[in-house]
Amino acid sequence: MSTVYEQLITLLESQRARYRVVGHPAEGRSDLVAAIRGTHPGQGAKAMLCKNKADNEGWVLAILPGDRKLDFRKVAAAGNLRKATLATPEEAERETGCVIGAIPPFTFSPRIKLVVDPGLIERFPEIAFNAGRLDTSIILDSSDYVRIAQPLLEPVCV
């Protein structure tokens, strides 16, 4: 079975995406990793796995700019959830194959709905994200990201 990183590279190559890979010390905080990779914190695609609070189902991978905060009411509305809450670290790793902080803004599971705040892709020509690993980032053309990931574009920030 391939790693999330390998799946990402295969996907980006097959879709002829404009991207580059940046290796760096392991870091999970979006502000610190932005400084390490030389990008603006707002370019960082912060990935937060959410679920329906009532039944622990209805997975939504909410993607927002690294310098913004998540609005759970907006996530619930975008994902058709009664009330959204964060997945536990164990649930996030089970559902995405990645530890928290390493989850990329892509989903390889049909169970997870991908919702992206439009502010992420409107502000910068490139987005940056940890590529399934805490020590490796990808900087990807924003228009290629939308074309390949085909997310639901809905506001999810406070």
For residue range 52-110, list pLDDT tens digits in order. Answer: 988 877 999 999 999 999 999 999 999 999 999 999 999 999 999 999 999 999 999 99
For the cut 70, the answer to whether the pLDDT of residue 26 exceeds it is: yes
38 lies in some domain: yes
158 lies in some domain: no
User: What's the total number of domains in the chain?
Assistant: 1
Rounded Cα distance between 54 and 97, Å, is: 23
Task: List the domain range (segments joined by +) for residue 108.
Answer: 4-153
CATH classification of the domain holding 135 = 3.90.960.10
Helix ranges restricted to H, the chain: 4-14, 30-37, 72-79, 89-96, 118-123, 142-149
133 lies in some domain: yes
For the cut 70, the answer to whether the pLDDT of residue 1 exceeds it is: no
For residue range 93-152, list pLDDT tens digits in order. Answer: 999 999 999 999 999 999 999 999 999 999 999 999 999 999 999 999 999 999 999 999
pLDDT at position 2 is: 80
145 lies in some domain: yes
